[in-house]
């Protein structure tokens, strides 16, 4: 599944934000993003070890995932300017790790499961590096991308919800390929928002980039599992 919250740029995009402030937001975002991966790994490990998410299939799993994800994102938005913002964000990333554990458990069922997970991780890191490099050299204002990416993400989410009930492998592959493209572009957009002063809250910035990374990794893992999974 894919979920994404996007704040469309305001009319005063980038005004009044110094270069020093932008770099501070970017630095804090990178630190918090790195920290947020730890609860994700912990949640995924607990989920795989206990099998706690194995019963979350079909409509039940969809309701739990969407309810939890959007509930946490609402809470993050409400607490992003307070001391509670970081703990709420980290709790969200733990939840997302738990939700990811079912797919990871399925991939680990393949003979080459560990290799597929490492390949998906390396691929996601590579996409992030490329998008971060592009964001630092592109001078053009990319704020207009936001509304189109948002529409694409919503269409993608509807398709993914439908496919939960249809259970089509071909549909899953198509959705995964589209998600990799859309959320890779979102990485570029979100990084440019920070660099250009369009996003000044590092908790919101971290949430946006985390969702980009999560969706690219999940989609790569699904694609690799379908195309390259080796059974015993």
pLDDT in the model for residue 12 = 40
Residue 76 has pLDDT above 90, yes or no: yes
Q: What is the pLDDT of residues 16-46, one digit of tens each?
A: 567 888 889 999 999 999 999 999 999 999 9
Per the model's pLDDT, the better-predicted residue between 3 and 94 turns out to be: 94
Q: What is the pLDDT of residues 91-137, one digit of tens each?
A: 999 999 999 999 999 899 888 889 999 999 999 999 999 999 999 99
Counting Cα atoms < 13 Å in the Cβ hemisphere of 26 gives 19
Strands (E), the chain: none
DSSP, collapsed to helix, strand or coil, labels residue 88 as: helix
DSSP 8-state code for residue 198 = S
pLDDT in the model for residue 73 = 93
Q: Which residue has the tokens 């704040």?
A: 7
Q: What is the pLDDT of residues 192-209, one digit of tens each?
A: 999 888 888 999 999 999
- For residues 8 and 146, the answer to whether their CB atoms sit within 8 Å is yes
Domain boundaries, the chain: 19-228
Q: What is the pTM (predicted TM-score) of this model?
A: 0.88
pLDDT band at 226 (very low <50, low <70, confident <90, very high): confident
DSSP, collapsed to helix, strand or coil, labels residue 12 as: coil
Residue 75 has pLDDT above 60, yes or no: yes
- Between the alpha carbon of residue 95 and those of residues 41, 70, 135, 201, the distances in Å are 10, 11, 29, 22
Gap between the Cα atoms of 129 and 116, Å rounded: 20
Q: Lowest-confidence range among 1-15, 53-67, 97-111?
A: 1-15
DSSP 121-178: HHHHHHHHHHHHHHHHH--S--TTHHHHHHHHHHHHHHHHHHHHHH--HHHHHHHHHH
Q: What is the pLDDT of residues 207-225, one digit of tens each?
A: 999 999 999 999 999 999 8
pLDDT mean over 57-63: 76
């Amino acid at each position: 599944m894919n979920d994404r919250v996007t704040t469309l740029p305001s009319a005063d995009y980038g005004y009044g934000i110094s270069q020093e402030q932008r770099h501070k937001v970017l630095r804090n975002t990178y630190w918090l993003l790195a920290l947020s991966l730890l609860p994700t790994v912990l949640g995924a490990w607990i989920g795989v070890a206990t099998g706690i998410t194995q019963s979350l299939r079909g409509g039940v799993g969809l309701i739990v995932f969407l309810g939890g994800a959007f509930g946490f994102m609402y809470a993050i938005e409400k607490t992003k300017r307070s001391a509670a913002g970081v703990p709420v964000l980290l709790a969200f990333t733990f939840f997302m790790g738990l939700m990811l554990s079912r797919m990871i458990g399925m991939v680990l069922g393949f003979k080459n499961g560990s290799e597929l997970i490492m390949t998906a991780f390396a691929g996601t890191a590579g996409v992030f590096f490329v998008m971060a490099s592009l964001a630092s050299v592109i001078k053009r204002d990319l704020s207009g991308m936001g509304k189109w990416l948002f529409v694409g993400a919503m269409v993608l989410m509807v398709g993914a919800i439908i496919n939960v009930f249809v259970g089509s492998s071909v549909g899953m592959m198509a959705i995964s390929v589209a998600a990799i493209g859309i959320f890779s572009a979102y990485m570029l957009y979100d990084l440019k928002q920070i660099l250009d002063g369009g996003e000044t809250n590092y908790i919101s910035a971290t949430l946006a980039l985390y969702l980009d990374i999560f969706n690219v990794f999940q989609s790569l893992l699904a694609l690799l599992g379908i195309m390259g999974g080796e059974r015993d």
